[in-house]
A and B are shown apart, each in its own frame.
Chain A
């Protein structure tokens, strides 16, 4: 495969960041993912789609290292990745959002996003408790980054509001904010538009594209809404029953017979 390609809207996509080679993931007797290979390239918006139970969320968990596949290899930044401890997972520069929002409901928007900075903080528990020396300077520096995220996502008005009180669309946005605050190299979004109305979807699409455009962040996302996926993704992987049935640009995928069959159903003879 060539080293880079140019997208439909004229962006140049760089070299491979992550490569999945023949991944198989089993839970006991259930095979969630079966012999799947694909890559994610620097600066692209990569979508993973498929019907319910296709194994999309499992795939996302393999990408960020939370699940370790029984077979196959994951290559990240040119190195083969082995099974990791949770703190190693957190520090590899991959941030994610969750399908069913996982925020600290009683904490404010600001504090929630601040937790995204945790892996970047060096001062220890005691100096943070004493609020002394490096800890103070560190918090100020991190707060600056968090404030830029708040500004970017236009959520200044809810900065001090406990997230439990926010409407769903805003909670999704706060979760994106927390992921962005970690300054990830690779951002994983698990159904960022689920349960949103058209206007909220439009807002979210714009933020995703802006993140990609402004910060050059590579994005992998799972999404049900085909319209959204086809609009914002550069390349799409299609999964069905744990298998890959299609991979390519939105246009290629749209015309792929296997994909059409998986989505619209097909008469079995």
Chain B
């Protein structure tokens, strides 16, 4: 299984175009958003200035993009081309493929998060305590695994032409409603009620908690763990179902 994980990581690193855009894209959006609004006040509902708030949002958003897009399309393509069938003829357990895909995605998220941080620190002069930088990186990186599992599940759920639209709907739906693009506190009440239960909301909240100097709320961590179990369990179930059907 380790051999497969190693090879998946290697393949991701070789895919230079995907790496480049995944790493650069969230930083560009960060600059666009934080640059246009030069208000000095804090973001509504938080103790954070806009530049710091969006640094976490965009690092989370970038990680989400990389793992969701990378996994779902790639898996759907590999199912179509029959590589998954070939792999089923080896002794590799089903979870091996899913784990290798999550590991491969995790390689992209790390530079993506770090680059957003560097851009925020250099261009927008975001300043944090020294301990906060590594902890933030770790928290956002670990949280992205939830969405890597979701990407695997989508890759098994949809095939062919349906993958991209489905990924897009999930991706924009989760990032906008979860408050990655604009603070959820600016939403109408009913939308906030929905937003609170989304994994992206809990995901961004993890980083914001660290940024304001506290520990992540137990509720957010629990919610993310529940979503991880749901997505990973769903992916494993779909993998088995695919074995019977595909």
A binds B: no
Q: Which residues of B contact A (CB under 8 A)?
A: none
- List the interface of chain A (C-beta within 8 A of B): none
